[in-house]
Amino acid sequence: MTHPTNVNQECDGIVQVDHDQFLFAEEAADTLDVAAKGSLIEVGPGFVSTFTGVSYGPARVSVQLLRDVPGEAAEHWEVVEQTMLVASGPITTRNLDGEPVAEMSELEPRTYHLRASARGRDIATSTEVFEPTEDYLFELWPATEGEASAEPLVRTIRKNDRAWSDELVDEPVALKPDYSTICVRDVGGNILRVAPQSDLGQAAIRITKEHGGRPLDGALADQVYAMQVAYVDRPLVDWLAIQSPGLLSDFKAACVELAFTRAGLDQYSWLNELAQKAVRDRRLDYDECLDLLTRAHDDPAIRRRLVPGIPGRFESLEQFEAINTLNGFLEPAGSDALYRALETYLYALKTFGMEGYEGLVATLRQRFAIPAN
């Protein structure tokens, strides 16, 4: 435990976790240049990346600049790791995209010993939270110039949680969407999960059946996926209905790319390479698709997350829906180009869920210059 007289500087704040991580880093750090890795942190020149339990949402963070070596970590910390951080620029707590946390102070550039401690990573693993469930503490104290040249190392001092562990879980529990509720927003914009038979549920379902204010006609009249997505942005669906097969293929490729990035699947090289090949070739053979789905299902390294569904729909397993966007390139094709574009668009919407679908639509509109009416 760190004695109060050993603390030279201290700050606390809330960091937004993104894709199971946040940073303690200098502004220009290349966070892909990893030199050493543990189950809580990985380290490289000018940065420490922290592995969280939750996939998205807020987490509490404290940073202490110490005068000297701290005492033993308090018992309530479930995982504790130590490393050396060599910083050539000011360092602070940052979101995964590099944005600094406003309430957190910067520390001057130098070489530090760093001890990272965490608790709560098993509470809401691989989910999105809206209130903090995890706590992190970074304790830093000066290192000598000679220590800066030492080989990078992450030393695990304590590991009592199961998050980011190589240990086998006796009875793994598969994440499954809750099909007893649908997702809606209340008048305040808050996301709620309600029974489909409830007043809020029925109101949301009615909107999905209005198809954006008018009946589906022309090329959209018998399109089953148009019936499922038209209410989200009717002008976008109308625009799809008059596009050439080539442009519809480009639209599908954009949906796949955006969905894979959103779900974090672009971090897995074998999976990302298969997706890029399908997009590049504009086709995915049935056997390749089956192999991809099997490997993705069985790969324990792939982090999975449930997300609130788009309005009036069930919640979704983000990574599963992202992989499903590739169905639009499946060969042999059993349907027309418009059908497959609408199918891919639906799976992309389900990947982004309630929190992100509006951003997805805005990105697609901008990329393809889709008119508002």
Mean pLDDT score, 159-169: 71
pLDDT of 267 reads: 85
Is residue 164 included in any domain, yes or no?
no
Predicted confidence at residue 97, as pLDDT, reads 86
Query: Is residue 151's pLDDT more than 90?
Result: no
Q: Are residues 126 and 189 in the same domain?
A: no
310 located within any domain: yes
Q: Is the pLDDT of residue 250 over 50?
A: yes
What pLDDT was estimated at residue 172?
Answer: 44
Residues 12 and 45 in one domain: yes
User: pLDDT of 211-226, one tens digit each?
Assistant: 999 999 999 998 999 9
Q: Is the pLDDT of residue 94 over 90?
A: yes
Q: Which of 95, 126, 159 is the last residue of a domain?
A: 159
Q: Is 170 inside any structural domain? A: no
CB 347 within 8 A of CB 256: no
In this structure, are 78 and 221 located in the same domain?
no
| Residue 179 pLDDT | 84
Total count of domains within the chain: 2
Same structural domain for residues 153 and 187? no
**Is there a domain that residue 373 lies in?**
no
In a domain, 323, yes or no: yes
- Omega before residue 308 within 30° of 0, cis: no
**Of the residues 127, 159, 191, which one is the last residue of a structural domain?**
159
Query: Using 50, 70 and 90 to split pLDDT, how confident is the model at 306?
Result: confident
Q: Identify the band that residue 170 occupies on the pLDDT scale cut at 50, 70 and 90.
A: very low
pLDDT tens across 176-235, in order?
Answer: 788 888 999 988 888 898 889 999 999 999 999 999 999 999 999 989 999 999 999 999
Q: Which of 33-37, 230-234, 280-284, 328-332 has the highest mean pLDDT?
A: 230-234
Label residue 168 by pLDDT band (50, 70, 90).
very low
Token look-up 């503490």 returns 137
Residue 262 or residue 166, greater confidence: 262
In whole numbers, what is the pLDDT of the chain averaged over residues?
89
- Name the residue range of residue 105's domain: 4-159
- Residue 171 domain-assigned (yes or no): no
Same-domain status, 149 and 218: no
* pLDDT tens profile 36-82: 889 999 999 999 999 999 999 999 999 999 988 888 888 889 999 99
- Which is more confidently placed, 325 or 153? 325
- Looking at per-residue pLDDT, the higher value among 234 and 170 belongs to 234
CATH number at residue 105: 2.60.34.30
pLDDT of the residue at 167: 41
Q: What is the pLDDT of residue 103?
A: 83
Residue 362 lies in a domain: yes
Task: Please report which confidence band the pLDDT of residue 166 belongs to, taking 50, 70 and 90 as the band edges.
Answer: low
The more confident residue out of 148 and 223 is: 223
With tokens 């910067």, the residue in question is 106
